Structure 1
Amino acid sequence: MSNFSRLSASVMTVPERVVHARSISTELGDIPVITDTSRGGPLRNSLRAWKAYDLSASHHLLLQDDIALAPDLIARMEAACAAHPDAILSGYASWHTSSGAAMRLAAVSGASWVETVGDGYFPTLAMVMPTAYIGEYVEFAERYRDVIKHDDHVVFWFLRQHGIRALISAPAMVEHRGIATAAGNHPDFPQHAACFVPESVQAATALLDDFAYCPYFYEGNADLIVRGQQGRHRMWERVPWVTRADELGIDPNQLRNIFDESADLRDHCELLEPAGIPREYLFSLWTSAFLLGTFSLRGREMNLPAAERSVIEAALETLAISGQGYLLVTHQDIVANRKGLATVAGSGFALARSQ
């Protein structure tokens, strides 16, 4: 079992982005910068960075260079290391992923951390590992240095094989800066956090775990990520929310009628449809927000603190983008109509919270 004593940190970069990395380094007190001069890719450079951890530290934070930092990053990470010393932590999840959906659920529920829900990779943009794991992880990951470019998949495989708890912060502690990523992510899907607020938030450690459902708006569908178990491994399955409507005690037809008969929502649809956002997409967005509000009420049962309004608004604002996927609805249309879409999401969320 690990105990927290000290958090060290470093930032990894490539030669053309050294300026960005040095800016992060300066912001955090001149932490080491590890540069991929051989251009071997994120996995190879991350292995060099992990090997260079401070031997006096109990935990090490490894940052990538294409990020902006929350002002309370170190304080929040240190508090989490003390509360969850055996866990591997991430301060980021992207807005379109299932882990991003879990981040939203935790954020609106009043939790500061949430267990991952299995994207097949672990977000490594701002990752903390107990130093007791680093040697074993490096040995494990070295096998894949000539197999795969990215480190996030390899970290996920390591977590799964060794049964190590993995947690994601809520809200995110870092945000993508909008510059091209070394990982080469798809240009039609810009990478941003599912929930990020630029101001300080409390360095709390409340954890949302053991939840049965997580709402996930993806490819225009209001889905649920449902917990399961296969042997000793926790499994997650994505299903249409209506397949679980009976056990949730929610009538899909009644929900549709509420949406269709709302004068306010009808007005928003009439504004958004000509702008490239179809009514059915809006209904699924509204339904997903309703489910998010419904499941967030569990936070009260767990005696979690009330979520800050700015955090709730940040989580709801990215919900519409989460649903894009490979659809005719474009990222540009969603961004251009972000405020109207956030209003639609806020309506569904508020309805659930009022019941």
Structure 2
Amino acid sequence: MLYALTKDSKMITAKAATKEQKYYCPSCHEPVILRQGHYYTAHFAHLKRTCGTFSEGETSEHLRGKKLLATFFRAFGARVKLEAYLPGSKQRPDLLVQLPDQQLLALEYQCAPLSLRKLQKRSRGYHDVGLAELWILGNNYRLKRSLPQQVAQFMRWSKNRGFYLIYLDPIKAYFEVVYGIQKADFLPLKYQYWRTNDVKKLKAFFATPQKIRLKYLSLSERKKQKYALAKQIYYSTGAMRKLQQLTYQKRLKLTAVIDDCLALNYSYPLYRTATLWWRTALYCDQFSRPKIPAYELVFVDLKPFIEQDIDNFCKGLAFLKKNF
């Protein structure tokens, strides 16, 4: 916490506090201790972790990031309150921001692990009191070769930038937007990134029209994909084992089914597993609409994207069966 109450109920910042005084949590009113030093940001901490509002231990990254976000948004002309308590939802966002157009925004800088259910609950709390919300991610959520559910749940969609995530680097002091996120079976993610330390430029970035195109696989990418598939066929485990059994039962040639069902381009990040598995199930007519292990997102409804994806594949499948 960056703020606490004095014994006479006055709010004080950790930077202005002294260790000779007693301080209390502004939410649960239990005693807190002041932590100041040369190597970390001054803050208050609970003696016992019994507070529902401040349940997460705060790292130096989180404390520094909150202060940096306050600086960025004040430079944008916004009014900012750090750790403001919302009685209607019994929540305390990292920052409560009143934008120049008077819109109120709950701003969260998420550094610690957060489950999907807790994210959904906190998001509903802001929605129920009529607050817009923006989640900015810390280094623990950095994208690498794959897209785990714990990171995907924060994704948003923009017609100009596709699927995206927003990060804050509190050391280098800039926002980083990772956008145009795309997936292809058995290959690393593709995405672009853009950086700024200016909220006005960040807002303009999303307003600027840009066509996000789904990329076709290069010859080298196809080769890597085929190699990964060959290994799966050889070891014959998991989803590949089920596919081998299915094609055998249907008296179909496995390699021919894979050739017809393996996508030649990257696609939107919709599914937790390879698209090949539900495509081949559909191809083999196991069921009309396979159960697809899609990501669970809080800020985007994936249903229209998935329905369009299935329809496009079915049209291509009908064309293949008619002409070959």
Q: Which TM-score applies when normalising by structure 1?
A: 0.29
Larger Rg: 2
Point out the structure with the larger helix share. Answer: 1
Instruction: Report which structure shows greater RCO (CA 8 Å, sep ≥6).
Output: 1
Q: Which TM-score applies when normalising by structure 2?
A: 0.31
